[in-house]
Amino acid sequence: MEIAVVIINYNTRELLRRSLSSLIRAQRPPGCNLTIIVVDNASHDGSDEMVTREFPQVTLVASFTNLGFTGGNNLALYLLGFRVTPPTLASHLAPAPRSTPPDFVLLLNPDAEVAEDAITEWLGWMERLPSAGICGAHLRYGDGSFQHGAFQFPSLAQVTLDFFPLVGLPGTQRLRDSRWNGRYPMVKWQGNAPFPVDFVLGAAMFVRAAAINDIGGLDDGYFMYCEEMDWALRMQEAGWRVYAIPTAHVTHHEGQSSRQVRWDAYERLWRSRFRFYRKHAQRYPAPYRLALRLLVRLGAAWRSRQARQRFATGAATGKEIARELEAYAAITRF
């Protein structure tokens, strides 16, 4: 049996080192081979040199351009032997594609560290759940606090809470952790049994090779964000199921790459969301999408007013607020 781990890195050298170290330490059954591929998206922090120097057992694919999360993963899946259309290979230092893909693939963020028994937990449940195409993880932030790692497909209620978080009102946190915000009950995460979900966070996705061969790779129309949601929906439409695995623990130092370009990432998030709604028009018909656009415009206007108030009180600089306002204006045009 072979498991391939794919990590897409962009300027997160120190976290990548910790992620790779956790994989090297991870338990796996006898006879189970672990292949690790790092696709470096044109980092300039020495990530590629660190991987080459400290982890010679890892295959490094150095891209001359930033392929995004989707492009980097599709390139790795192609090199692993899956029937996936890769980005243009002329700009990459990559080995020739394999003829036989692995049995499972773990897509792991560079800011994620797996617990020692996480891989054996994923494997065990995949064997017991033959319909499982994707299994997610029990995520914790770097400080040990709980992070939701599985969600329901988006709704207008979730978008409303995105823009209008109701901070300070009684019951706010309970509402944010409820199904109205696409979350699953905490009691499910506190148990030991897997439970079916709509999709899992892309920070850690343990995927069956047969499911990838069935539906193909990630949709490269998403540069980043919503690609895991789209993949999960496509798998379920093809008859596969998606599960959260409470016993597969992963520490996730969330959003370290995207924080480097905060408002660029915010615009990409909403561009991807609108693309997801348009692509899956049967689930999100025209009246829904119209209501969504009205809600986004209202939310962007409210957030813009808040930003101007922060500037007026000296809580933020003019440069910071200008970029934030640009982002809100941009998402209303998507």
User: For 213-257, how does the pLDDT look when each residue is reduced to its tens digit (9 = 90+)?
Assistant: 999 999 999 988 999 999 999 999 999 999 999 999 999 997 554
The 10 Å Cβ neighbour count of residue 171 is 9
Residues 325, 212 share a domain:
no
How many domains does one find in the chain?
Answer: 2
User: What does the pLDDT average to over 192-201?
Assistant: 97
Do 20 and 123 have their domain in common?
yes
Query: Based on the domain organization, do 35 and 75 belong to the same domain?
Result: yes
The pLDDT score that the predictor gives to residue 153 is 97
19-75 pLDDT, tens digit each: 999 999 999 999 999 999 999 999 999 999 999 999 999 999 999 999 999 999 999
Helices (H), the chain: 13-25, 47-54, 68-79, 118-128, 156-163, 172-176, 186-190, 209-215, 227-237, 262-279, 286-312, 318-331
Mean pLDDT within 256-271: 78
Is residue 237 within 8 Å of residue 283, measured between CB atoms? no
Percent of the chain with pLDDT over 70: 95
Q: For residue 291, what are the contacts with CB-CB under 8 A and spacing of at least 6?
A: 156
Whether the pLDDT of residue 261 is over 80: the answer is no
Q: 191 and 327 in one domain?
A: no
Check whether residue 306 and residue 209 sit in a common domain.
Answer: no
Determine contact, residues 139/113, Cβ cutoff 8 Å: no
pLDDT confidence band for 170 (50 / 70 / 90): low
User: In 3-state terms, what secondary structure has residue 151?
Assistant: strand
pLDDT of the residue at 169: 61
Q: What is the mean pLDDT of residues 189-193?
A: 95
Q: Is residue 174 part of a domain?
A: no
Query: Can you give the pLDDT at residue 258?
Result: 47
- Which residues lie below 8 Å from residue 266, measured CB to CB, with a gap of 6+? 327, 331
pLDDT score for 171: 62
Taking all residues of the chain, what is their mean pLDDT, rounded to a whole number? 93
Q: Residue type for 26, please?
A: A
Residue 167 has a pLDDT of 58
Would you say 244 and 150 are in contact if contact means Cβ atoms under 8 Å apart? yes
Decide which of 12 and 88 is more confident. 12
Note the pLDDT of residue 289.
Answer: 97
Examine the domain organization and report whether 292 and 231 are in the same domain: no
Q: Copy the structure tokens of residue 238.
A: 């093809």
Q: Which domain holds residue 314?
A: 260-331
Assigned domain for 25 exists: yes
Residue 276: pLDDT above 80? Answer: yes
Decide if pLDDT at 151 tops 90.
yes
Backbone angles phi, psi at 242, to 5 degrees: -120, 135
Q: For 115-134, how does the pLDDT look when each residue is reduced to its tens digit (9 = 90+)?
A: 999 999 999 999 999 999 99
| The predicted structure's pLDDT at residue 175 | 83
Q: 267 and 234, same structural domain?
A: no
Whether residue 304 is predicted with pLDDT greater than 60 in this model: the reply is yes
